[in-house]
Amino acid sequence: MKLGCIGDDFTGSSDLANTLAKEGMRTTQYTGVPSHDADPSVEAGVVALKSRSIAPQEAVRKSLEALDWLRAQGCTQFFFKYCSTFDSTPDGNIGPVADALAEALDAHQVIVCPAFPGTGRSVYQGHLFVKDVLLSESGMQNHPLTPMTDSDLRRWLAAQSRHTVGHVGVEAVFQGADAIATALAAQRAAGHRHIVVDAIRDADLRAIGAAARDLPLITGGSGVALGLPANFGCVAGAVPWRGQEGRAIAVSGSCSTATRAQVAQHALTHPTREIIAADVIEGRLSAQDMTDWLLEQTGVPLAYSSADPEEVRRVQDRFGRDRAAAALEGFFAEVAQLARARGAARIITAGGETSGAVVEGLGLTTLEIGPEIDPGVPALRAGSDLVVALKSGNFGAPDFFAKANGVLAG
């Protein structure tokens, strides 16, 4: 294995794996730290953790455990993948994990770049934009677990890290890899360990990747990984895929603006059913009831709890954030288990926490990377007769659910 990757959630990890596979690296995604060595043919291994919203010290522990395994596989460079909207709180978990990985690898020029132009995320003058608005005005300020209220990545990361945060602006980035490398070295000389790097185009990401050729650790969204496979001699090409026949279901726990629009679009032509959080928490709706409904439908039935921010806040105020989240995640995991046991062969999920719960509920350990459904979302083969799509809340076209089913079916 050449490139070792650690993702802080399951959808983001598949997003990264998708990028690396498209750029020609033989890539496999693992759920949690494997208990066995990787297949020798794997060039990039992505260890997917569910560490974005847990206690910082636990996120660090899990990430260092993943690093140890990847080092044992022979990796020479490492990538810490977090969301392209930098989902975190002032306490972590991006800063604490980046600190721990940098110290373990003796890395002193650590790139911080969540830019992903293909999905509208760009970094300019150290600020993160979602299309033409600042992150803090994009709707992410209403995220139920990691509300992003400041678009200045330097300030947000500095609150989480033991190290000061530097910046490489577009003036250097536009000049190419050599200028970026020089600017990174200057920021290190100024005493900064973590360095936010601007990027507004895919060409910028490729230049950053080239500048990172000899760096032990890079951090960012999947976009900045665009330029890494070329450093290992890989060439982009088509990703092979075999479609899967059988029943399809979709579940969504994301409350993002994008996902709620996708749910509304899907409801025009497919069966949909809203999951009322209070009904789950207080036992009026069981996973068995929901599974029965899903499997009685035709087309691509969708069960969703994608409420607007005000409704989410009301539920959290009434039941407590942790209790509400745990109840819904457990519910989705059980629905996936029951549907799989009754023959579901294509499972589509929306939302990082929801996708993580489904993956863990199904006991999926190794995912084969297939073709891209939408930017950042690949088709994934989880077994000989099971394929899945794991969508981050903010990703995907308006017709994502139907589109994903078409790609999974081949």
- Res 60: pLDDT: 98
Match 């990747």 to its residue by tokens. 209
Cβ(100)–Cβ(64) below 8 Å: yes
Match 């721990």 to its residue by tokens. 100
The fold for domain 247-409 equals Molybdenum Cofactor Biosythetic Enzyme; Chain A (3.40.980)
- Res 237: pLDDT: 85
SS3 of 359-405: HHHHCCCEEEEEEEEECCEEEEEEECCEEEEEECCCCCCCCHHHHHH
By DSSP bridging, strand 27-31 and strand 77-81 are unpaired
Delimiting residues of CATH 3.40.980.20 domain(s) in the chain: 247-409
> What residues of the chain score a pLDDT lower than 70?
none
φ/ψ (deg, to 5) at 178: -65, -40
The tally of CA atoms less than 13 A away on the side-chain side of residue 38 is 30
Residues 349-386 pLDDT 10s: 999 889 989 999 999 999 999 999 999 899 999 999 99
Pick from 54, 77, 61, 55: nearest CA to 4: 77
- Res 312: pLDDT: 85
Pick from 317, 312, 250: nearest CA to 276: 312
Two tokens at 319?
């039941």
- Res 240: pLDDT: 87
Whole-model pTM? 0.85
Which residues lie closer than 8 Å to 299 by C-beta, 6 or more apart? 269, 270, 271
| Nearest-angstrom CA–CA distance, 381 and 407 | 12
Residues 223-279 pLDDT 10s: 999 999 999 999 998 888 999 999 999 999 998 889 999 999 999 999 999 999 999
- Res 128: pLDDT: 98
- Res 76: pLDDT: 96
The fold for domain 3-231 equals Rossmann fold (3.40.50)
Match 């951090």 to its residue by tokens. 219
Q: What CA–CA distances, in Å, run from 359 to 217, 287, 319, 349, 410? A: 27, 16, 25, 10, 21
Query: What single-letter amino acid sits at 95?
Result: G
- Res 393: pLDDT: 87
Delimiting residues of CATH 3.40.50.10840 domain(s) in the chain: 3-231
Q: Where in 95-230 does DSSP place strands (E)?
A: 110-113, 121-124, 127-130, 133-134, 165-168, 194-197, 217-220
| Nearest-angstrom CA–CA distance, 408 and 167 | 41
